[in-house]
Amino acid sequence: MTDHDGRETTTETTTAATGSSARPVDPDQAMAIREVLVGTAGVQSVGEVVVHRLEKGDVLVTATLGFGRRTPVADVVAVLGEVKAGIRAALPDARTIVLEPEVAAPRADVDPPTDTIIIRGAD
Closest alpha carbon to 24 in 52, 62, 58:
52
pLDDT tens for each residue of the chain, 123 residues long = 444 444 444 444 454 444 444 556 678 888 889 899 999 999 999 988 888 888 888 889 999 999 998 999 999 999 999 999 999 999 988 989 999 999 987 666 556 566 656 666 666
CATH T-level assignment (fold) for domain 12-116: Alpha-Beta Plaits (3.30.70)
- Domain chopping of the chain, boundaries: 12-116
Taking CA atoms, 92 is separated from 55, 67, 84, in Å, by 16, 26, 11
What is this structure's pTM? 0.68
What distance in Å separates the CA atoms of residue 76 and residue 67, rounded to the nearest whole number? 7
* 38 CB-near residues (< 8 Å, 6+ apart): 1, 2, 3, 4, 9, 11, 46
What distance in Å separates the CA atoms of residue 78 and residue 86, rounded to the nearest whole number? 12
What distance in Å separates the CA atoms of residue 4 and residue 2, rounded to the nearest whole number? 7
- The type of residue at 62 is T
What distance in Å separates the CA atoms of residue 100 and residue 37, rounded to the nearest whole number? 12
